[in-house]
Amino acid sequence: MASIQLLFLIFASLSCASATFIQNFDITWGDQRAKVLPGGDTVQLTLDKWSGSGFRSKQEFLFTRIDMKIKLVEGNSAGTVTTYYLSSQGPNHDEIDFEFLGNVTGDPYVMHTNVFSQGKGNREVQFYLWFDPTKSFHTYSIIWNPSQIIFLVDGIPVRVFENTEATTGVPFPKNQPMRVYASLWNADDWATKGGLVKTNWSLAPFTASFSGFKATNCKDPSSSPLLCNSIPVISATTTSSVQAQSQSQPQAQLSANMYRRMRWVQRKYMIYSYCGDTKRFPRGLPPECRRRR
């Protein structure tokens, strides 16, 4: 459980922080397959027949907005998975996922989102993108506050996962600080058309690029109202009282325009939601789905 000291550290130390990858991240695997480009703001992750690669943030976060610009593997990316996510550690970990499932040339990527709480996930929602994510950088954002998790693409919300713990009993990620992770790896046993299309290693190495990392806290609430309007003021001396404030804090609402844009994305580009999968849940949809936005 996070200490109040950690909470103060997180909210006091980063205010729309943006710095070089060397300052913010450690390369965690892949050896020379992960490369920081000149200038220090962009990392290229590479996948070949022997290994993928990845990095992890030096700092942990408890409630934050994370923005990352990503350019995905170009051309035939079938079998590859590019990930960008927040996660804690341990069997009862929390996690907030973006995963990009590669495809054969000309077919769209699948953007896969998921939320884990206390080790339980299976809350998948998937989309096609309305642009080519391999030609230029696009910004993928996670807003995580005590009342909700919002996934955004280029500032457009595509999914909201609300904290309904008080009414449904469904756990919400709220106690465990998380680090930012990113990786590029081979998953051709499932990633493309359920594993029917395998990675074409004659096209390797595959490369994805990450840039423009930014972590926003609530030192300046105007920097991110959707984040800060639901962050409790840290004035208590115990973690439990901070949690109590979190439970009672009003939820920040999407603007009417943002809500319309989210509905547009969901109507035109959402290809799967666990909240609509009655075959998977024949005895009834998960309780949080009945309150789904």
In angstroms, the CA 31 to CA 55 distance is 11
Write down the catalytic residue from 60, 95, 162, 288. Answer: 95
What are the φ/ψ torsions at residue 160 (nearest 5 degrees)?
-125, 130
Burial of 276 (0-12, 13-18, 19+ CB in 10 A): middle
Tokens for 125, please give them: 């929602």
The one catalytic residue in 60, 99, 162, 288 is 99
Is 99 among the catalytic positions? yes
Annotated active-site residue 95? The verdict is yes
| Tokens representing residue 203 in the block | 């096209």
Q: Catalytic residues, which ones? A: 95, 99
